[in-house]
Amino acid sequence: MPAPLGANRQVYPYVHGNGPVLPLSVPTPDLNTLPLPDLYRELASRRVAGGPSLVRRLLELARDEDLGEQGDVTTRVFAKPGAQSSCEIVARGHAVVAGLVIIPEVLSLMGGGTFRAAARDGDRVQPRQSLGRLDGDSRAILAAERPILNFLGRLSGVATRTAHFVAAMGPGVRSKLFDTRKTTPGVRVLEKYAVRCGGGMCHRMGLHDAVLLKDNHLAGISSADLGRFVTDAAARARASCSISFFEVEVDRLDQFESILAAQRGAPESSKVDIVLLDNMGPELLAQAVTMRDRSGVAIELEASGGVREDTIRAIALSGVDRISAGTLTHGATWVDFGLDAAP
């Protein structure tokens, strides 16, 4: 069985807090075992060397694209300096919430205010349900309204879609649902957080934390040579960098058999942790599970491709360990929230 995502020590250019900015070997937690508040703190602390955190950069961009250099000219005319407001964030429909955790930082960037939550990320909410109350300077709250609702709408859409897919897998399956790198550019850490809010799991965060050999990496390598090639590649990868896992994509069972044959008796340093079975139907997936079980090789199997709400249960019933679906993020629709005057 592969080590949990992030269980190894990893070298990458993300550092935490105000620490050194050079690439470091730091212990990285398993993102899929962290409670949501701890997960957000972990993700929100990640930054590229020499800059603010990725989340902070995103929130600052959201501020800057709205306020520009003049600020909110409408509110400047409408709201008196020092005027105070109290508003509630209200759900307009059924949803799984994600994004409440960023509201205090958005308020801070927009000029201040307080947020008293009446719900938590991961909660299911109903139409007209209050998610919490904003109190503070009217100008700051009005400036923060649209960024807050934009983040809530997008992230709750991802969480809600993920929850629908998890529910569609149904009972009696062992498969876990994972996201992919098919995320909105710049918003990945928050969208992956939203997947967790909906009951899904985080796959690799990017190209920096795990190896995933896909068809373009393996072009020109025959099935007969594939197993030996990826086994050698796993050893080279672990010797040159610290990774969370080593994964290989195949789209035929003869490729998978080649990997199984090469992995029998392979040293730990050469182990393939996960094989991604690309665009295989439930029958082929079940055959792959049987091949793996009979081989005695400890490899997790991940199904990907053709994952929809109406197909995911059949895929899960094949016995695969993991299902990854880009549609959790790129297929999500926004959830509608409003900011209403508090009673």
Q: Which one of the listed residues 9, 41, 128, 214 is annotated catalytic?
A: 214
249 is catalytic: yes
116 is catalytic: no
**Two structure tokens written together for 169:** 């897998």
Q: Which one of the listed residues 137, 191, 247, 249 is annotated catalytic?
A: 249
Extended beta strands in the chain, E state: 9-12, 14-15, 24-27, 47-48, 84-91, 95-96, 114-117, 124-125, 130-137, 176-178, 211-213, 246-250, 274-278, 300-304, 322-324, 337-341
Beta bridge partners of 217: none
146 is catalytic: yes
**């701890």: which residue's tokens?**
38
**């501020």: which residue's tokens?**
63
Q: Which residues contact 199 (CB under 8 A, 6 or more apart)?
A: 162, 163, 166, 177
- Residue pair 47/24 in contact (Cβ under 8 Å)? The answer is no
Euclidean distance between CA atoms 163 and 157, whole angstroms: 10
Q: Which one of the listed residues 63, 124, 181, 182 is annotated catalytic?
A: 182
**Two structure tokens written together for 81:** 């300096």
Q: Which one of the listed residues 9, 146, 174, 264 is annotated catalytic?
A: 146
271 is catalytic: no
214 is catalytic: yes
Catalytic residues: 146, 182, 214, 249, 278
